[in-house]
Structure 1
């Protein structure tokens, strides 16, 4: 993923909801995260609370099913449809881990949230990517045609908003023109239908939702996120600094198990991964449809076992500094994440 040069100053936006900023603005910075362990190395807690995603399997859930997480267990407390909301729940202490777009993590930590990224968990590659789709009979052919139009996405302040605004900027739109593109929040499962009903003009579609929509036909991508960034990890799992400091053994086990699950999914034949995901969904008994899992293609994670690199945060930091929502040097990529718990730390990415 390429970091934009100073010559191409990015006009971007403030990612997180005001409520997330307010919740995270208070509090004193915790001590530096360490990886000290007790003599026996046993996890300090018995379970980890988390939010799920309807109809999909997360890597921690896969790790538990593969037996990598034992003796730790996961405790499901409900579903989320938003990365910013998921990590906000970590900040407020309602969950023990959550995941979001890296730009959202930058903004939350800049607002003094005491969290640290420990693993990359999603991104885009040649098999897994997000497209931004128009109807085949749509008059929209270029970025300029989006002025005055509606763009549907799952949440504001996340991955899709960042990608569309970068697309508009690279196409030469001014700030005033970019502001005339209306961003509309639509539940992911309803996005395709909203496009076909012409409630929105462009729909962000990825993974199984994209493939199902393409099977039905009548749509085409205006552009893809990989057109802009190539292969890249876009989001990370976070833990609170307090949790890491208090529970180093549990932290290490969570990261090791999840990293191994990512590599299992990366190196196992697709058919076997899909079958495993179907089994997990059936066993957890949440009355979900497993048919969508057959569209799984790849992990989309760039670094081995979810290893994180500076560049996966630097892109967003540079944007915010240029846009003015962050002061120059206010946030440094190396302070936002740690790979120290990963079993692949010393291996080639």
Structure 2
């Protein structure tokens, strides 16, 4: 992300936060209903936790579906929802914009079963990072997971900042990425999950690189609350994170078939006019830490990257200020 675009986002976010502070404060209240955004055709871990009875007397209130991680955490930061989740680098950037948010648990990641790849047609002349100069790469959104992974790939390959600027990132809905790639509208397409699996089944594509190839298994995104909400409702947050963590652990340790069956059951019950078949392609949570425990390196990696790129000042954001494992019962079982 260019520095100018980032500064514009900072200004807009600061204004939104100021507006939210005037009208959405919940100081002194105890809240048992938590507003959130879901995802079409997918089950979030809070939804799984509620279905498994892990949230106690906390009720979830679905207010719609998110369009992206950055949008989801901005909704939480401005009080439109009570919690939201995004790529850890996006959380760092929002924190740098002085958003009073804190990550409390990891919710997605990449491993050998669940990862994102950056694919080209089999006959493409693109073989190395340097071949990407002047080319178009399709991503689902800017300023999030895929942009960070791509920029890291290019940096590790020795491209200069000026050369990296010449690699064009094009926002394409994930469902359209494969078609745009095959029709030559993109030189590289970002594919993950069911869309990746279906595209590879059809053949004719090869990976240029993958996120796990760069970083190994890692938790990539976390769920955040506003710090004021945590201060006013610590036991609600503790109950929520505990239930969330138990749901993550359940998915990490149960047979895949059992997890998929539960996801299908939840989607069929909630009545949002969705196709439950997509969850049949679920392979793993991708979350590295047991029960979603956050490791400091899962933020520090992106803090370092954002400092190198000039998006944040050195020392502007510290990992320990961005996240906490204090509410996660699995924290003692993993280094953080």
TM-score (norm 1): 0.89
CA distance in 2, matches of 1:104, 1:18: 15
Q: 2:252 aligned to 254, 262, 266, which one?
A: 266
By how many angstroms is 1:326 displaced?
Answer: 2.3
Alpha-carbon distance, 1:138 to partner: 1.8
- Asked whether the equivalents of residues 16 and 108 of structure 1 are also in contact (C-alpha less than 8 Å), the reply is no
| Correspondence for 2:113 | 127
State how 1:1-349 maps to structure 2 within 5 Å.
13-14=2-3, 18-19=8-9, 21-24=11-14, 44-348=30-334
- Alpha-carbon separation, structure 2, partners of 1:16 and 1:284: 38
Matched residues in 2 for 1:16 and 1:84: separation? 12
Q: Please say if residues 44 and 249 of structure 1, whose CA atoms lie closer than 8 Å, have aligned partners that are also in contact.
A: no
Q: Secondary structure at the match of 1:346?
A: helix
**CA 21–316 in structure 1, closer or farther in 2 if over 3 Å, else same:** farther
Deviation at 1:124, TM superposition (A): 0.8
SS of the aligned residue for 1:326 comes to: coil
- What is the distance in 1 between the residues matched to 2:330 and 2:133? 45
Residues 132 and 204 in structure 1, CA contact (< 8 A), matched pair in contact too: yes
Stretch deviating more after TM superposition (211-220 or 115-124): 211-220
Whole-angstrom CA distance in 2 between matches of 1:77 and 1:154: 22
CA distance in 2, matches of 1:348, 1:313: 16
Name the count of aligned residue pairs: 326
Higher fraction of helix: 2
Does the 8 Å CA contact 2:39/2:66 hold for their aligned counterparts? Answer: yes
Pairwise CA distance, 1:328? 2.2
Cα distance, 1:294 vs structure 2: 1.1
Further displaced range: 335-344 or 188-197: 188-197
Instruction: State the 1:272 CA deviation.
Output: 0.6
Q: Do the aligned partners of residues 297 and 92 (structure 1) sit closer, same or farther apart at CA in structure 2, a change above 3 Å counting?
A: same
Q: Is the 8 A contact 1:16 1:104 kept in 2?
A: no
Question: Which ranges of structure 1 fall in alignment gaps of 5 or more residues?
Answer: 1-11, 31-42
**Structure-1 separation of matches of 2:299 and 2:32:** 32
What secondary structure does 1:105 align onto?
helix
TM-score by length of 2: 0.92
Partners of 1:251 and 1:109 in 2: CA distance: 19
Q: What CA distance in whole angstroms lies between the structure 2 residues aligned with 1:260 and 1:13?
A: 39
1:72-130 deviation digits (Å, cap 9, x = unpaired)? 11111111131111100011110111001111111111111010000011111111111
Structure 2: gaps spanning 5 or more residues = 22-28
CA offsets per residue over residues 232-268 of structure 1, 9 Å max, x none?
1111000001111111111111100100000000000
Comparing 136-145 and 112-121, the one that deviates more: 136-145
**Cα deviation per residue 1:194-226 (whole Å; 9 max; x = unaligned)?**
212222111111111111111111111111001
Distance in 2 of aligned mates of 1:327 and 1:20: 13
> C-alpha displacement at 1:17, in angstroms?
7.8
Match of 2:24 in 1: none
